[in-house]
Amino acid sequence: MKNKHVFTAVQKEGAMPIKDIDPIKTEIIRNALNSAANQMKQALCRTAFSPIIYEVLDFASAIYDKDLRLLSQAPSLPLFMGTLNFCVEAAVEGVGGVAKLEEGDVIIYNDPFGTGAHQPDVALVMPVFHKGKLVGYTAIKAHWLDIGAKDPYCSDTIDYFQEGVIFPGVKLFEKGKLVDSIHRMILANSRLPKAIDGDMRAQCVGLNAGSKALSAIIEKYGEEEFFKCVEVIFNHGESVVKNYFKEIPNGKYVGSGMMDNNGISDSGIPFNVTIVVAEDEITVDFTDVSPQQEGPVNCPLPSTVSAARIAISMLAGGGESPTEGHFRPIKVITEKGTMFHPIPPAPCFLYGWPAMQSIEVIYRAIGAAFPELVPADSAGDICSMVFWGRSSKTKEAWADGAPYPSGQGASNVGDGSSVLHIAESATRFSPTEVRETMYPYILNKVELSQDSCGTGCHKGGMGIDFEFEFLEDAYVTATLERTKTAPKGLLEGKEGRANSCTVVFPNGKEENIGKVTRYFLPKATQLLLKTGGGGGYGAPNERTLDQIQEDIENELISPTYAERQYPQCKTP
């Protein structure tokens, strides 16, 4: 396999000895670093212009040492977890390497094959200096609502040149001064320059907050002592993950998945992921997958690595905020030219959709042998919708995008929840009041959907029904996945419902949509989004009658559904 690629976490050569390190001081530094990343997050949220950042939290903020090892990351978008090291490395290379960095620099970078995302996910990187010496980096990758793609959001691109302006690593700020030519180019290539300018500046505020916080920590404890404690933090994270996998027998575990389509053709896309456990290390093998696609469901290497890290660290991370140490036991194998390691100019706009499916497949692989360790299938999608148009009142362009919650799979510890997919589990969807104030539509319905869950000893999470009514002409890009494959249960648990979306036009005509771009919604059109329910866990006949009755009383399931799904409820 000549195109095989193996990726592992950064292992620093010649690491300093870590004997006689005060564990209390180490824990204080660990929490101080987490606090610093959270300061970045709060600074960004309080100054951002767009709800997709300050409400949805479609961003990641993180701090790295000078060797590109993750020190801390604030809770926000898990799918960005661990990708920012790729962003920092490529951004620094783009400006000519470490020797070209100066205090006050900010680099802008959004090449999808370096960020792992689509061009609207723009990374800003700031080198951090302490007493004139480079000690690390702060980085924020955030979603910009428009970056000059053929449409504000796309499901039908055929190469990445259609997906927006590419910044291959150039200085946006140099020695603390805004580079006017780059700034003007950014704004000239967006349909929403005011929003983009505000969000870009907010990212810089976040970078500065993190840089000052990291410098203050190093100043307080001294550089040598600080980095000794960092090594202990990394070693601890590594041991947490390794200890988890010591309990799983060595072997190969294979999971299978199927994407609905690639956004261009309607054919399903099968793929397999193999998990290899060898003592206390784990390999996630993405080589048995489909070739890179003509449509934009290609997942660049950084997000493939991220998906593996999310799936494993959610299981084995002990509930801790991840550091580079948690990633050390994880090896990721890909093959270049495939859907999970595409090469330019492959379109990547829907990169996150195969990444989300791969997390589900990793859990299926483990769950086939050890179902008690993983949840059943979720609805498998964030069901993103991006609406846009031009206001009839102000004549200005507007755009609004958000993910939507769905049912998550039940597990051996309880029922599934009704939240965003694990890949976006720390994000949110914008409040109805905010959206109706800012955009020309109303939400007539946002409610848990009765009978949408998979049943079992533990039931899956509920799907959610959204009903939009448009007060002006608008367009939508819909990106639905898993409309053809219902979420599977575990250990005799039953399936949940699949995702779906129906458009009802003013004349009464209805049309089901999945992946569509620039789909016209005339004034008075209704869009009905029904997100899927989670799969159940365990045999339905093991659920108690009291639990079933409570579900009926809470209108999560109907009496008819209960009688159909639970043998103990059938009338003699």
Quick: pLDDT tens for 355-402: 999 999 999 999 999 999 999 999 999 999 999 999 999 999 999 998
Across the range 200-204, mean pLDDT stands at 98
Instruction: Quickly count: other Cβ atoms within 10 Å of residue 183's Cβ.
Output: 16
State pLDDT tens for residues 449-490: 999 999 999 999 999 999 999 999 999 999 999 999 999 999
Q: Which of 186-200, 313-327, 495-509 has the lowest mean pLDDT?
A: 313-327
Across the range 255-281, mean pLDDT stands at 96
Assess contact for 327 and 82: CB atoms under 8 A. Answer: yes
How many whole angstroms separate alpha carbon 408 and alpha carbon 453?
A: 9
Band of residue 21 on the pLDDT scale cut at 50, 70, 90: confident
Helix axes 193-221, 23-47, angle to 10 degrees: 160
Residue recorded with tokens 């500046």 = 201
Q: Is the pLDDT of residue 13 over 70?
A: no
482 three-class SS = coil
Q: Which of 5-19, 136-150, 179-193, 206-220 has the lowest mean pLDDT?
A: 5-19
Q: For the chain, give the percent of residues with pLDDT over 70.
A: 98
State pLDDT tens for residues 51-79: 999 999 999 999 999 999 999 999 888 88
Both tokens assigned to 305: 């690595």
Across the range 528-550, mean pLDDT stands at 97
How many whole angstroms separate alpha carbon 123 and alpha carbon 491?
A: 42
Both tokens assigned to 452: 């949408």
Give the strand pairing for 515-521 and 526-530. unpaired
What is the reported pLDDT for 15?
52
Across the range 257-275, mean pLDDT stands at 97
What own/partner pairs with CB < 8 Å and gap ≥ 24 does 87-90 have? 87/114, 87/115, 87/123, 87/125, 87/139, 87/141, 87/302, 88/64, 88/123, 88/125, 88/137, 88/139, 89/114, 90/114, 90/115, 90/169
Q: Which helix (H) or strand (E) holds 390?
A: strand 385-390
Q: Is the pLDDT of residue 166 over 80?
A: yes
The mean of the pLDDT values for the chain is 94
How many whole angstroms separate alpha carbon 285 and alpha carbon 282?
A: 10
Across the range 26-32, mean pLDDT stands at 97
Its pTM stands at: 0.95
Sequence-distant (6+) residues with CB within 8 A of 363 are 255, 311, 374, 375
> What is the DSSP-derived secondary structure letter of residue 420?
S
What is the reported pLDDT for 429?
79
Across the range 104-111, mean pLDDT stands at 98
CA distances to 140, 170, 194, 228 from 181, rounded to whole Å, are: 22, 11, 17, 42
What is the reported pLDDT for 89?
97
How many whole angstroms separate alpha carbon 446 and alpha carbon 340?
A: 35
Q: Is the pLDDT of residue 173 over 90?
A: yes
Band of residue 280 on the pLDDT scale cut at 50, 70, 90: confident
Q: Is the pLDDT of residue 314 over 90?
A: no
What is the reported pLDDT for 488?
96
What is the reported pLDDT for 9?
83
Q: Is the pLDDT of residue 421 over 80?
A: no
Q: Which helix (H) or strand (E) holds 87?
A: helix 84-94
How many whole angstroms separate alpha carbon 136 and alpha carbon 41?
A: 18
What is the reported pLDDT for 17?
55
Band of residue 426 on the pLDDT scale cut at 50, 70, 90: confident
Residue 308's region, left for phi above 0, alpha for psi from -120 to 50, else beta, is alpha
What is the reported pLDDT for 425?
72
Across the range 205-226, mean pLDDT stands at 97
